[in-house]
Amino acid sequence: MEQICIHCYVSGKVQGVWFRASAKEQAERLNITGWAKNLSDGRVEVLACGSKENMKLFYAWLQKGPRLAKIDAVSYEEMEWQALTSFDTL
């Protein structure tokens, strides 16, 4: 099974809407490790690592976010594999 990491910036109404906590729930459900953190410019930065199959599902979720979020754009960059042990909110 191919393992990949993706680095994303999510913009829109993504802070104050439980985006990071919801991303953590989704990641744990899909056996994905990494982190999500708020940025001072209002975006959320996400690093996620897991199977290529599950990363497709997680990326699709990032484009919708939790119920109260309004996603304007999600940048996507594939990264070198990092063996992380959990998904954290920073």
Q: What is the pLDDT of residues 5-24, one digit of tens each?
A: 999 999 999 999 999 999 99
Contact between 70 and 11 (Cβ < 8 Å): no
Domain-wise residue ranges, the chain? 3-89
Which one is catalytic: 38, 43, 54, 67?
A: 38
20 flagged as catalytic: yes
pTM for this prediction: 0.95
Tell me if residue 20 falls in helix, strand or coil.
helix
pLDDT tens digits in sequence order for the chain, 90 residues long:
799 999 999 999 999 999 999 999 999 999 999 999 999 999 999 999 999 999 999 999 999 999 999 999 999 999 999 999 999 999
What pLDDT does residue 72 have?
A: 98
Closest CA to 75 of 49, 47, 52, 50: 47
3-89 classified as CATH 3.40.640.10: no
What pLDDT does residue 1 have?
A: 75
29 flagged as catalytic: no
